Amino acid sequence: MMHTRGIVRVVSGIGVVAAVALPLAACGSDSGGGSATGGDAVAMMQSAMDGGGAVTCEITDAEQPGSMSIAGADRYRILARSDGETVNLLRDGSDVYVWKDGGTTGMKTTADSQTGMTLPNIQEAIDQERAAPTVDMECAADGDVDAKLVAPDEVEFQTVP
Report mean pLDDT in 10-residue bins for the chain, 161 residues: 33 38 40 71 92 92 87 94 91 95 95 79 85 83 92 95 80
In our burial notation (b when 16+ CB lie closer than 10 A, e otherwise), range 125-155 reads bbebbeeebbbbbbbbbbeebeebbebeeeb
Classify the C-alpha dihedral 36-38-41-43 as positive or negative: negative
**Sign for the pseudo-dihedral over CA of 52, 58, 59, 64:** positive
pLDDT in the model for residue 93: 93
* pLDDT given for residue 27 in this prediction: 37
Q: How far is CA 71 from the centre of its chain?
A: 11
Q: In the prediction, which pLDDT does 31 show?
A: 38
Provide the pLDDT for residue 150. 95
DSSP string, 31-92: -STTEE-HHHHHHHHHHHHTTS--EEEEE--SSS-EEEEESSTTEEEEEEEETTEEEEEEEE
Q: Give the predicted TM-score (pTM) of the model.
A: 0.78
Give Cα separations from 92 to 77, 78, 97, 103, 138 (angstroms): 9, 12, 8, 20, 23
106 - beta bridge partners? 99, 157
102: left (phi over 0), alpha (psi -120 to 50) or beta: left
Cβ contact 58:52 at 8 Å = no
DSSP bridge pairs for 10: 19
Give the model's pLDDT for residue 83.
Answer: 85
**Cα–Cα distance for residue pair 128/140, rounded to 1 Å:** 20
What's the confidence (pLDDT) of residue 135?
A: 67
